[in-house]
Amino acid sequence: MLGIEAKTIYDILCALAGDTEVYKVIEAEEVLEKLPEGMSFTKIQLSGIIRDLKEREYVDVKYFTPDEYCLQIVRRIEAPQTAQAGQVAQPANGGEQRVLYGEKKTKAPVAQTSVKKGAVFFMAFLGAFLGSAIVAVVTALVIRFVL
């Protein structure tokens, strides 16, 4: 989950970058101008927050300088605390419906097979034995015909 500062910067970056999935050059001054009242950052603090967003994979940064950032927004839909994962959100303004997902992605169930530990050990031992036998035969052939 993002902190208040990081969430605010992420929202501003989303607004500046638009909906396209291309890299955009965004100037630090543009971001700092759009900050809400009562919140102010230096360019160094802004760089730290954007670096944190990059590490958390909210943005993909191609390059950055203290004055500008070339980045692409990775769209993430976070479910509100009251909504359950997979629930359909009904927008108040009559727009289109979106499915909300939580932070953790759930994978489709995979058929699991149970194998006993002894069988796994035996298969690993057999593979090692077979591999060493192949190496021994190749070495014997090389010694006999090449040397």
Do 57 and 106 belong to one domain?
no
Per-residue confidence (pLDDT) for residue 143, from 0 to 100: 92
Pair (48, 89) in one structural domain: no
Q: Identify whether residues 38 and 83 lie together within a single domain.
A: no
Bridge pairing between strands 88-89 and 98-99? antiparallel
Contact call for residues 39 and 8 (beta carbons, < 8 A): yes
Domain total of the chain: 3
Q: Are residues 122 and 103 in the same domain?
A: no
Neighbouring CB atoms inside 10 A of 45's CB total 13
Query: What pLDDT, in 10s, does the model give residues 64-85?
Result: 888 888 888 886 665 444 444 4
For residues 19 and 51, membership in a common domain is answered with yes
Based on the fold, state whether residues 59 and 23 are members of the same structural domain: yes
In this structure, are 9 and 67 located in the same domain?
yes
pLDDT tens string, the chain, 147 residues long: the values are 678 888 888 888 888 887 667 888 889 898 888 888 888 888 888 888 888 888 888 888 888 888 888 888 886 665 444 444 444 444 454 545 454 444 445 555 655 667 777 888 888 999 999 999 999 999 999 999 987
Are 101 and 119 in a shared domain?
no
Tell whether 50 and 106 lie within a shared domain: no
Task: Note whether 93 and 144 are same-domain residues.
Answer: no
Residue with tokens 């909906």: 19
Residue numbers of the domain that contains 41:
4-73
Sort 107 into a burial class: Cβ within 10 Å, 0-12 / 13-18 / 19+: exposed
Alpha helices in the chain (DSSP H): 4-17, 28-33, 43-55, 117-145
